[in-house]
Chain A
Amino acid sequence: MPPAPYPPLPPGEDGQSLAVFERWARDLRRTGGFGSGSPHVREGWAGSVNAGCLIEFQLEIRDGMIQRARYRYRGGPWTGAACAYYAEWLEGRAARPDEVPAGRVVAERLAYPRIRYDEALLVEDAILDALGNETRSGCGDPFGSRTG
């Protein structure tokens, strides 16, 4: 059986309320990193401090699978929520760009207002950077088409 498309949500949360975002933004699991030097750890970055948002994502990859995901960020709570959501999603998945949900999808899933979508997109960028994906050719959205 394929894994559930998203980490389970608490009962009563349908992905359309602020409570969903708040849950992920407040409960920042999997923050931090693995240290440097491990051949199994790949890291990716996106954003900049001057732009108000900087994300560092680290993935521990063994046998083509993401064993663990960790992140650090500087930005708003929307950035933090997307990082936490992605990190939970990625663990146990194949280390391939097309396994990574698009930022837009995550933003919708976490019920972000439109003006905050860019923060989920940046998190996606950091993950794709870690996976070494340079092309981002329309892949990475297992739940729908990427419209940017």
Chain B
Amino acid sequence: MEGMQTRDRPIYLDYAATTPADPRVIARMLEFLGPESVFANPASATHAPGRAAREAVEAARHEVAALIGAEDHEVIFTSGATESNNLALRGLARARRDRGRHLVTSQIEHSSVLDTMRSLEAEGFEVTRVPCDRNGCVDPEAVRRSLRPDTLLCSVMHVNNETGVIQDIAAIGEICREQGTVFHVDAVQSAGKLPIDLSRLPVDLMSFSGHKLYGPKGIGALYLRSDPELVLEPLIRGGGQERGLRAGTLATHQIVALGEAFRIARLEGGAEACRIQGLRDRLWTRLQALSGVELNGASAPRVCGLLSLTFTGVGGESLIFFLGKLALAQGSACASAKGEPSHVLKALGRSDVEAEATLRVSLGRFTTEDEIECAGAAIAEAYGRMREVAPRERSRMGSRTV
């Protein structure tokens, strides 16, 4: 497939933030929007257009389930992974509040998990946050030690969105199962990039997003393992859609687009991951030759398309500024009173200054070799320039502080 951008556009290297919709996904979506399309309400079973929409929704559900080794009825459509995470965590905790008040998660989860945990604390739940090691790995044995008889749920992400480090969810899931604790996994950054077989993995709940997988924004899914004991309290009530767990008219066009995105990932994801990993490694080979560039999670298993790089000795904000032709993410907000440093990088042991000087480079389906060459050269040039203008070593400080 052709590269997605022209020369005058920035080189997009922020696929971990969002991906463009695949043209095949867009084409599929358009079949369900206009007056000549299958636009009817999937809940309108009394007429053929409604039934056609329902069939399309169920076909999409099957595609989602097929990628992750689930049964169709175990897939619930949501507005995205944030809602999926909220439904999983709040829904489970509230449904089981009479059985316990303890929840477990890691320190490096996405804010949609951490913020939800904080709000559950305000509701009276107690939360244990398990740390990670310097490579960003959560030790399954640390999770085991955190579990208690009254622990309702443990939530650990599959792949970290800042470092790309893969967590051992099989081991953590086994421990949770031994302890009788429900296990939730945020799989936003792993779906389509790593094999996921929920018929084998000891996972009870798993969250997915459409726009991280070349689908549209505003659609996601929650896997809910088929088990009569596994009950969630819905966040949104109304017409009883999605088995009563997520009320609201189903967004047929987004759901079929999600199904198409998952279908493409199932058919092409393996080969694509190899290609992207090759590009990622090529970029890292180029950058690691620069003195002062450090790869976060270097000794840990990492997902194919992501590099978290700390550029020692320079300011990350200036680096980003001089990399204007690259669209990439700063690993954290600026440390100079403009925002909080990344909680993930801090958990890895990075200082505020190092966190501020950390950039996330994430590659994807439309990244080309030429772009990686350009990006490598641009980063090397900008970093070299910033190193040149950096002050000499000196302990003396000025009078006014930021």
Residues of A at the B interface (CB closer than 8 Å) are 25-26, 28, 31-33, 44-56, 71-77, 79-80, 115, 118-119, 121-122, 125-126, 129
Contacts and interface: CB of A to CB of B under 8 A. Distances in A.
Given A75-B315, A76-B315, A80-B318, A52 B392 contact: no
A125 B398 contact: yes
A46 B400 contact: yes
A55 B390 CA distance: 8
A39 B335 CA distance: 37
Contact of A52 (B313, B334, B386, B391): B334
A28 to B, nearest CB: 6
A115 B339 CA distance: 11
B122 interface: no
Contacts of B322: 26, 77
Nearest to B356: A52
Given A52-B336, A76-B321, A76-B336, A118 B402 contact: yes
B399 interface: yes
A125 B399 CA distance: 7
Nearest to B314: A74
B401 A48 contact: yes
Query: DSSP majority for the B interface?
Result: loop
B336 A51 contact: yes
Interface in B318-373: 318, 321-322, 334-338, 352-353, 356
Contacts of B385: 28
A53 B321 contact: no
A46 B315 contact: no
Nearest to A46: B398
A62 to B, nearest CB: 23
Contacts of A129: 398-399
Contact of A72 (B353, B390, B402): B390
A73 B352 contact: no
Contacts of B314: 74
A145 B336 CA distance: 27
Contact of B391 (A28, A74, A77): A74
B396 interface: yes
Task: List the 7 shortest-distance A-B pairs measured between CB atoms, nearest first.
Answer: A46-B398, A52-B336, A76-B317, A77-B321, A56-B391, A72-B391, A51-B402
B398 A45 contact: yes
B396 A47 contact: no
Given A52-B335, A74-B390, A75-B318, A45 B401 contact: no
Given A52-B353, A122-B398, A77 B318 contact: yes
8 contacts: A46-B397, A49-B353, A50-B353, A53-B315, A54-B391, A74-B314, A75-B318, A76-B317
Nearest to A50: B353
B289 interface: no
B388 interface: yes
B7 interface: no
Nearest to B341: A52
B200 interface: no
A98 to B, nearest CB: 18
B394 interface: yes
B1 interface: no
Contact of B397 (A26, A45, A52, A115): A45
